[in-house]
Amino acid sequence: MVDLYVLKGIAGLLKGKQAILRKSIFIGYIIFSTALLISLISLYLFYEQQPSDPSRYRLFMRFSGLFIVQFLFKFVYIFFELFHDLRHLVMKFRPKKKFMESLPPEESTSSRREFIRKSGIIMAAIPFLGAIHGIGWGRFRFTVRHSAIHFKNLPASFDGLRIVQLSDAHLGGFYGHKDKLEEVVDIINDIKPDILVFTGDMVNNFASEMEGWVELWARMEARMGKFSILGNHDYGDYSEWASKKEKKANFDSIIRQQEEMGFQMLMNDNHVIERNGERIYIAGVENWGLPPFKQYGNLSKAMLNIPEQAFTLLLSHNPDHWSNGVLGDNRINLTLAGHTHGFQMGIEIGNFKFSPSQLIYKQWAGLYRTGEQYLYVNRGLGFLAFPGRVGIWPEITLLELHRG
Assign residue 290 the CATH number of its domain.
Answer: 3.60.21.10
Say if residue 244 is in the same domain as residue 155: yes
Q: pLDDT-derived band of residue 101, with 50, 70 and 90 as boundaries?
A: low
Say if residue 152 is in the same domain as residue 71: no
Strand, helix or coil for residue 300:
helix
* Prior bond of 319 cis (ω within 30°): no
How far the first Cα of the chain sits from its last, in Å, is 60
What's the average model confidence in pLDDT over 142-171?
A: 97
Residue pLDDT, tens place only, 254-266: 999 999 999 999 9
Say if residue 125 is in the same domain as residue 158: no
Say if residue 273 is in the same domain as residue 358: yes
What phi, psi does 11 have (nearest 5°)? -60, -40
Q: pLDDT-derived band of residue 229, with 50, 70 and 90 as boundaries?
A: very high
- pLDDT for residue 323: 95
pLDDT averaged over every residue in the chain = 90
What's the average model confidence in pLDDT over 218-236?
A: 97
Say if residue 292 is in the same domain as residue 351: yes
Say if residue 115 is in the same domain as residue 164: no
Q: pLDDT-derived band of residue 26, with 50, 70 and 90 as boundaries?
A: confident
Q: pLDDT-derived band of residue 95, with 50, 70 and 90 as boundaries?
A: low
Q: How many domains does the chain have?
A: 2
What's the average model confidence in pLDDT over 214-235?
A: 97
Predicted model pTM: 0.87
Domain interval for residue 41: 2-136
Buried b (16+ CB within 10 A) or exposed e, 238-270: eeeeeeeeebeebbebbbebbeebbbebbbbbb
CB 267 within 8 A of CB 324: no
Q: pLDDT-derived band of residue 180, with 50, 70 and 90 as boundaries?
A: very high
- pLDDT for residue 98: 54
The last residue of one of the domains, among 136, 160, 185, is: 136
The last residue of one of the domains, among 102, 136, 170, is: 136
- pLDDT for residue 189: 98
What phi, psi does 108 have (nearest 5°)? -65, -40
Say if residue 316 is in the same domain as residue 359: yes
Among 99-113, 190-204, 223-237, 360-374, the minimum mean pLDDT is found in 99-113
- C-alpha 179/C-alpha 185 separation (Å) is 10
Say if residue 187 is in the same domain as residue 327: yes
Say if residue 301 is in the same domain as residue 174: yes
Strand, helix or coil for residue 399:
strand
Say if residue 227 is in the same domain as residue 259: yes
CB 382 within 8 A of CB 340: no
Q: Is the pLDDT of residue 49 over 80?
A: no
Q: pLDDT-derived band of residue 105, with 50, 70 and 90 as boundaries?
A: low
Say if residue 278 is in the same domain as residue 348: yes
Q: Is the pLDDT of residue 51 over 60?
A: no
- C-alpha 229/C-alpha 166 separation (Å) is 11
Residue pLDDT, tens place only, 281-329: 999 999 999 988 999 999 999 999 999 999 999 999 999 999 999 999 9
The last residue of one of the domains, among 82, 114, 136, is: 136
Say if residue 172 is in the same domain as residue 109: no
